[in-house]
Amino acid sequence: MKKYIIFLILLASIGCEPTGPKYEPEPNVVAVLNASLERQKVFLGTSYKLSEIPDTSDWCGVSNALVTISYDTIATTFYELVDTPGVYVSESLPVEPGRTYYLEVIYSDNKKVFGETTAPGAFEIITPANGDTAKLEQELKWEESLGAASYFVYYRAGYFEGKDFRDLGLITSTSFNSFYDRYGKLTVQLWACDSNYYDYYKARWGREPIESYVHLTGGLGVFGSFTVTDSITIILWQ
């Protein structure tokens, strides 16, 4: 079995190619729609054999492709960033909770990749409220997001202390001390992901075989989506 590298923007995985006379690189597409962002991005690349990884620490993107994401009867064509080859963006694609989107990528060699994602349903944090004071053992509670495969908590401590992103699983409440262990100012936001992204995420930690996370037709990678709550800022005390 010859090994090759699949470069992924959010993670890197190593797979195997059946023994054959010649390895053919496969299209590699990473696109994760986020309802809280005005600019959506699609990253295009190819897979590499382990012995043929480019001699660079930078990502080697693929240019001159046609990238389209559509919903209902509306299609949005993405444009490539001039200074970042292989990164295609659009500021005119509205990402709405519960809406289904269809991805079509046509590479310059006419290889095509297709994908489909449904953004999880809208949801909000129930308690605590923005500006509240809470204890570490107090629960953070939120509404269920229809179609969510898992929830992630994104939090930032204080003003300059850094941030983190934790997988909570498919629950609708958790104590603050399950993911944070200090006192002071804390800003919290919850992200609900679809099953495409969650399978992709689990493969990073070796929880699933690599074949189980590829839900694209014609290529490797992921086409997934997030729905995000408004953030709250609270004060944690003992």
Q: Which of 20-34, 107-121, 202-216 has the highest mean pLDDT?
A: 107-121
Helices (H), the chain: 195-204
What global pTM score does this model have?
0.84
Determine the pLDDT at residue 20: 52
Instruction: State how far the Cα of 213 lies from the Cα of 56, in Å rounded to an integer.
Output: 27
Geometric angle at alpha carbon 34, from 143 and 85, rounded to 5°: 165
Determine the pLDDT at residue 8: 43
Question: Mean pLDDT across the chain, nearest whole number?
Answer: 86
Amino acid identity for residue 135 in this structure: K
Local structure of 197: helix, strand or coil: helix
**Domain layout of the chain by residue ranges:** 2-120+214-226, 125-194+228-233
Q: Do domains 2-120+214-226 and 125-194+228-233 have the same CATH topology?
A: yes
Q: Which of 15-19, 134-138, 150-154 has the lowest mean pLDDT?
A: 15-19
Determine the pLDDT at residue 188: 95
Determine the pLDDT at residue 12: 36
Percent of the chain with pLDDT over 70: 80
The CATH code of the domain at 2-120+214-226 is 2.60.40
Determine the pLDDT at residue 41: 97
Choose the CATH number for 125-194+228-233 among 2.60.40, 3.20.20, 1.10.540, 3.40.50.
2.60.40
Q: Mean pLDDT, to the nearest integer, of 177-192?
A: 93
Determine the pLDDT at residue 3: 41
Q: Mean pLDDT, to the nearest integer, of 111-136?
A: 97
Q: Which of 151, 139, 147 is nearest to 234 (CA)?
A: 139
Local structure of 14: helix, strand or coil: strand
Q: How confident is the model at residue 53 (pLDDT cuts 50, 70, 90)?
A: low
Determine the pLDDT at residue 160: 55
Judged against a pLDDT cut of 50, whether residue 16 lies above it is answered with no
